[in-house]
Amino acid sequence: MVKSSNQTAKAPLSENITVMSVIRGIIVSYVITIPVFILFALILANTDFPEKFISTAVVITTIISVLAAGTASTRGLKNKGWLNGSVVGFIYMLILYLLSSLIFNNFTINKYVVTMTVIGVLTGAIGGILGINIKKSGHKYIKSKSI
């Protein structure tokens, strides 16, 4: 059977990393990150929140944001969710690193930066895997209910 040109054009977009899926994931991640960081800053400024929990709060916020971004970025993809999510996680961490380095005027790469980048990439990969599998399991459920 010969594929039509319309099917051929859509196949690569649904199977590979696309710029739009990465941008969608980055937007989702920062829509979560920015309000949480603002809320956290308000809590820090107005309460006696222990400083030893700041890095933990940043890591948890990063994990939630990148997980959601990896899941959102795989919408419309059929495979390679782990790769798409990893790319989104890496770009998220790169943007976060560049912004914090500009603000604090410190562009050093240390153990913390490497650890956070690895966490971002792995969490993005997990989010991408979840996004593809949640979507597929939803379609199977719908098909089985209609039969």
- The percentage of the chain sitting over the pLDDT mark of 70, rounded to a whole number, equals 80
Dist CA 67 CA 78 (whole Å):
18
Compute CA distances 25 → 22, 65, 71, 88, 121, whole Å.
Answer: 5, 9, 8, 6, 13
Would you call 18 helix, strand, or coil by DSSP? Answer: coil
Res 97 pLDDT > 90 = yes
pLDDT of residue 23: 92
Contact between 25 and 81 (Cβ < 8 Å): no
pLDDT for residue 84 is more than 50: yes
Strands (E), the chain: none
Predicted local distance difference test score (pLDDT) of residue 33: 94
pLDDT > 90: percent of the chain: 54
Structure-derived torsion over alpha carbons of residues 113, 127, 55, 108, reported in degrees to the nearest 10: 10
Q: Which of 87, 107, 89, 88 is nearest to 97 (CA)?
A: 107
Q: Which amino acid is at 47?
A: T
What per-residue confidence (pLDDT) applies to 13? 44
pLDDT of residue 137: 53
Over range 88-93, report the average pLDDT: 96
The pLDDT value recorded for residue 7 is 46
- In contact, 128 and 85? CB cutoff 8 Å: yes
3-state secondary structure of 91: helix
Mean pLDDT of 41-60: 88
Coil vs helix vs strand at 1 = coil
Record the pTM.
0.77
